[in-house]
Structure 1
């Protein structure tokens, strides 16, 4: 792993475990084991580091979700959507789940570091695109609207999981999501 990757991974872990505001550059330098000059060679500002961290987080999420979807029957698009919901539910129960880093960035630092918004926007657009693609192939006519709604449900699940992951009952959510999809299909 390169020094730059060490810095990004250290910062990602610290930002996820704590917050963007409570973690300073000196702590990231110390815990990543790099010299100050090396840090500033790659990241001239904390804003640039946060942006790169969120770009990396976006890439990691996309790769993980793509692998999850790839494990599904390629022609069973409903299973693709369910797999996304299952992935989120599994994530809520991981040891390092502390909420969505994109949501945290919007809440904590988007006014101070506006560039931190773009990776969050990119991820949301990608996720909606994945959902929209599956819905379209299922035959849902208003695929974009339903994809946006399903994305909002995932956001709500994520916030609920921050409060208490045990209260996020996947089967209850899926039952309602599936009902919505079936209603859209019968209206088509």
Structure 2
């Protein structure tokens, strides 16, 4: 995919809209609200983005690239960090409801039928993430499989759903510890 090059003002609209989509959803935030909140003419919006579908796709691409940078930073540049600690960092990054992954996760449920190209951005990110998770799992256990990496991703997404439906008690690290114990790792969190 060619590099996305947008004017500064368009980036500001994207950033504001990512916040709106994150907090209010893709279907409740329409173009009228976006242009009002961003204080731009509707014609300027359509000049930059052409349609709401293309705009959502661009927002998800921007969010995906920001998230990929963080994942690569965790996975590649922490040479003194163990694979278990990297997995913990990836898990906590992705289960943070205020974090970058939440918008992509939300997109999976909200836009599959109405904005299929934008939906594919989220699905492709999940596939990429499974590969990154697998590259860390294989360092912990030589017989790790892609199914294990998928299970780790499902655990991330289950933790998000649990956190959304809980009464505020955060169980994310306990679930992670149970998973990593099966990989021969010790408890990682202090508050078990």
TM-score norm. by structure 2 comes to 0.81
Q: CA RMSD in A?
A: 2.5
- Residue aligning to 1:30: 36
How far did residue 64 of structure 1 move?
A: 2.4
Render the CA deviation track for 1:131-173: whole Å, top value 9, x for unaligned.
1011123343233111010010000001111123733323311
- Residue aligning to 1:186: none
- Residue aligning to 2:133: 131
Aligned pair count?
179
In 2 relative to 1, CA 49–21 (structure 1 residues): closer, same or farther, beyond 3 Å? same
Render the CA deviation track for 1:49-84: whole Å, top value 9, x for unaligned.
111111111112222233344564446222211221
Q: Which stretch of the first structure deviates more once superposed, 11-20 or 27-36?
A: 27-36
1:179 is the counterpart of 2:181? yes
**Corresponding residue to 1:21 among 13, 20, 27:** 27
1:118 is the counterpart of 2:120? yes
Please list every run of 5 or more consecutive structure 1 residues that lacks an aligned counterpart in the other structure: 184-188
Higher helix share: 1
How far did residue 130 of structure 1 move?
A: 1.1
- Residue aligning to 1:47: 53
Query: What is the alpha-carbon distance in structure 2 between the residues aligned to residue 135 and residue 36 of structure 1?
Result: 48
Query: What is the alpha-carbon distance in structure 2 between the residues aligned to residue 65 and residue 167 of structure 1?
Result: 26
Query: What is the alpha-carbon distance in structure 2 between the residues aligned to residue 113 and residue 86 of structure 1?
Result: 28
- Residue aligning to 1:64: 70
**Corresponding residue to 2:17 among 7, 11, 23:** 11
How far did residue 37 of structure 1 move?
A: 2.2
Please list every run of 5 or more consecutive structure 2 residues that lacks an aligned counterpart in the other structure: 1-6, 186-192
Query: What is the alpha-carbon distance in structure 2 between the residues aligned to residue 115 and residue 142 of structure 1?
Result: 32
